[in-house]
Amino acid sequence: MAGRPALVLAAAVVAVATGCTAEDPRRGTAPAESGTTSAPATPSTPATPSPTSPTPEATTTAPTEEPTAEPTAEPTSEPAAVPEPRRSFVTIPAIGLRDFPVVRYRGSPDDAPGTALQDAGEMASPRGPRGGTAPGEVGNYIVTGHRLTGTAPLRSSPSLVRGDRILVRTGDTVFVYEVRRTRWTSFRRPASLRAQRAEVPGHPDETATRPMITLSTCATLEDHANGNYWADRFDNPEHRIDKIGVLVDTRPA
């Protein structure tokens, strides 16, 4: 019996210990508190960046290529035309004529200004709507000269035949024409005068495609031989003997 009271006492001790640790069902579960009182935790503040500007990261930049400017094309334009000298010079080996001056003027063949130039000892070359072209130009280059009076540069021109050469030096160029045919012009027939100064000599309805020449002088001897003594107010006889040629060569003077 002595052992029984000891057993009861031990059970009572266990019961008391267990009751000290049991939770009171009337209270909510409270968080465990530490033995010391601490200030509530301050929410963390984001770190403020340093006032010193951050060093930018080194970046590799591709070298900037300067735009390659394409060369501007120079405007293509025709070279400025060289003005025709007032005087050109004619050489006709077949009749012994050498560097004889020809003066250009505005007018028509053997008009007053043209006759005055011939009377002064030169040959004349008309320009303008009723005249011809310059040496070497497409069309009809007209040269007139006396045959019997003054210096008479064309006294022997009626004897020129097909293939004879007429050389015209103007500026630094020599234009070489070759005689192809002969035609007669009547001062008394307007149609004949139009044909003489046509761009294709003798063919007023045609368009020129190459440079040509008309070398013209009076037919006084022939007219008088036929009893024709007609003359205009400048003492030109009715007929002119024209040698027609075409350009066959061009060379430096």
Give residue 176's domain range: 88-252
Structural domain contains residue 59 = no
C-alpha dihedral, 182 to 186 to 228 to 154, nearest 10°: -50
Q: How many other CB atoms are found less than 10 A from the CB of residue 135?
A: 26
Split into its structural domains, the chain has a count of 1
CATH code for the domain in which residue 233 is found: 2.40.260.10
The three-class DSSP label of residue 66 is coil
CB contact set of 101 (below 8 Å; sequence gap of 6+)? 87, 88, 89, 122, 123
Q: How many other CB atoms are found less than 10 A from the CB of residue 61?
A: 6
Phi-psi region at 95: left, alpha or beta (left = phi > 0; alpha = psi -120 to 50): alpha
pLDDT tens track for 98-127:
999 999 999 999 999 999 999 999 999 999
Structural domain contains residue 1 = no
Structural domain contains residue 104 = yes
Q: Lowest mean pLDDT: which of 18-22, 58-62, 85-89, 155-159?
A: 18-22
CB contact set of 177 (below 8 Å; sequence gap of 6+)? 141, 165, 166, 167, 168, 211, 212, 213, 245, 246, 247, 248
Structural domain contains residue 121 = yes
Structural domain contains residue 238 = yes
pLDDT tens track for 198-221:
999 999 999 999 999 999 999 999
What confidence tier does 253 reach under pLDDT thresholds 50, 70, 90? Answer: very high
List the Cα angle 218/89/98 in 5-degree steps: 80
Most confident of 2-11, 17-26, 224-233: 224-233
pLDDT tops 50 at residue 158: yes
Task: Copy the structure tokens of residue 196.
Answer: 């003489």
Q: Who has greater pLDDT, 198 or 78? A: 198
pLDDT at residue 82, rounded to an integer: 74
**Distance (Å, whole) CA 230 – CA 184:** 16
Which of 153, 159, 165, 146 has the alpha carbon at shortest distance from 100?
153
Task: Copy the structure tokens of residue 143.
Answer: 């040269």
Structural domain contains residue 23 = no
Structural domain contains residue 201 = yes
On average, the pLDDT of the chain sits at 81
Size of the chain in residues? 253
pLDDT tops 70 at residue 89: yes
pLDDT tops 60 at residue 41: no
Structural domain contains residue 97 = yes
What confidence tier does 38 reach under pLDDT thresholds 50, 70, 90? Answer: very low
pLDDT tops 50 at residue 149: yes
Q: 112: buried, middle or exposed (CB in 10 Å: 19+, 13-18, 0-12)?
A: exposed
